[in-house]
Structure formats: C-alpha cells, structure tokens
Structure 1
Amino acid sequence: MKMIEGDWHRPWEVTMEVRRIQIMKGGLAIVHTLREGNKLADFMANIVFSFAGTYFIYYNNFQELPSEAKTILNMDKSQIPNMRIRRIQNGNYAQDR
C-alpha cells in the first residue's frame, strides 16, 4: 500500500508491477485493513502458503471449505467481530494461539 501510494521507495524488482497497479486503480483509494478485519482472507492465504508448490486448491462451494473457514464466514455474515486478544507474559505482550 505504501509503495503504491508513493510513500515508500519501491525496489526496482517490483517497479513495473507497482506501476501497473497504480494505472489499474485509477482514482480508487487503497486502505489498509488489519488482519482481524479480513480474517477469512488471512486464513485462506495461510492455507495457500502451507501447500505452496504442491498442488492447486479449489473450493467450488461453501460445503467444500475447511470447517474453520466456514466458521469465520458465518461469523462475518452474522456481523460478529473478530478480535485478536493478547495476554501479558513477563511484562511483554504475547499473542495467544
């Protein structure tokens, strides 16, 4: 987001891709969304990275989704907020898993 908006310097390796995105976005604004605001996309991206290079994964309907993805989607449809909760451990914040 910061590279596309011109706030950060972009490495030469991605200059062409960033320029294409800038042209495609036109007058649209790009907004950062925290992980909690896009939990289903984060979950699905983690699935892709865990099987990277192995094979393609396709989900053609709701029933084919993993059970955790179905839960996240149903919570989102019900407008139940997703929150990341941290607990204090030894004076430092540690993310619960």
Structure 2
Amino acid sequence: MIERAWHIPWKVSMEVRRIHVLKEGLEVAIVHTPREGNKLADFMANIVFSFAGTNYICYNDFQYLPSEAKTILNMDKIQLPILRIRKIQNGNFAQDR
C-alpha cells in the first residue's frame, strides 16, 4: 500500500495518504520485519489493543513493565534469538499455537 503496489482499503486510506505525504521528498526504505524480530512491539500492541477504549497505559520505567515484556527485553539485550517453533504432525509442519 505504501509503495502503491496494492489497493488501499478505505479503513486505512487516510493513514496511508498521510504516510505518502510524510515521505514526499525523502528517500524511504520499507522493510518487513517478521513477528519474531519485533516481539516486544507485538507484545505491547496486544496490551494496548486489550485496553482499547479505556484510559491509556504508560510505562515510564523498566520496573513497571509486565514480566513478559521484561523477559523479551532481557533476551534482546543478551542477543538471544527468538525463534518460532513448529510441531511436526503426520510428517508435515504445523504452526504451534
């Protein structure tokens, strides 16, 4: 959508147009990052989604983060890779849930 290769769904059309305006005159590279490479952002987005419509959440210090977020940050700090594990069922790979 950002590179104008796909049709823009109306639900996000205003946001995509704003991105187009922001990147005018700039050299911008858009790169896909798999969920495993962005685990903390994915975790925090899920927290925000679960609190949608209520007061906002703000974590100003590491000590106030949920324990899972602390674990993810510490794993990133020691550069421990985060892998997606899949089970083998009947000789085929099946995504672990």
TM-score range, shorter chain: 0.7 to 0.9
**More helix by proportion, 1 or 2?**
1
Letter aligned with residue 22 of structure 2: M
Alignment-derived partner of residue 4 in structure 1? 2
Percentage of pairs with the same residue: 76
Distance across 1 between alignment mates of 2:53 and 2:96: 30
3-state SS of 1:56 partner: coil
Offset at residue 62 of structure 1 (A) = 0.4
Partner in structure 1 of residue 30 of structure 2:
30
The alignment partner of 1:17 has SS state of helix
Runs of 4+ in 1 over 4 A off after TM superposition: none
Counterpart code for 1:21:
I
* Greater mean deviation of Cα atoms: 12-21 or 73-82: 12-21
Q: TM-score, normalised by structure 2?
A: 0.84
Aligned residue in 1 for 2:73 = 73
Gaps of 5+ in 2: none
Distance 1:46 1:13, change over 3 A: closer
DSSP-derived class of the 1:5 partner: coil
- Once the two structures are superposed, what CA deviation does each residue of 1:43-70 show, in whole Å capped at 9, x if it has no partner? 1111111222232111001000011100
**Residue-pair matches, total:** 95
Quote the offset at 1:96 in angstroms: 2.8
Gaps of 5+ in 1: none
Greater Cα shift, 52-61 or 9-18: 9-18
* TM-score using structure 1 length: 0.84
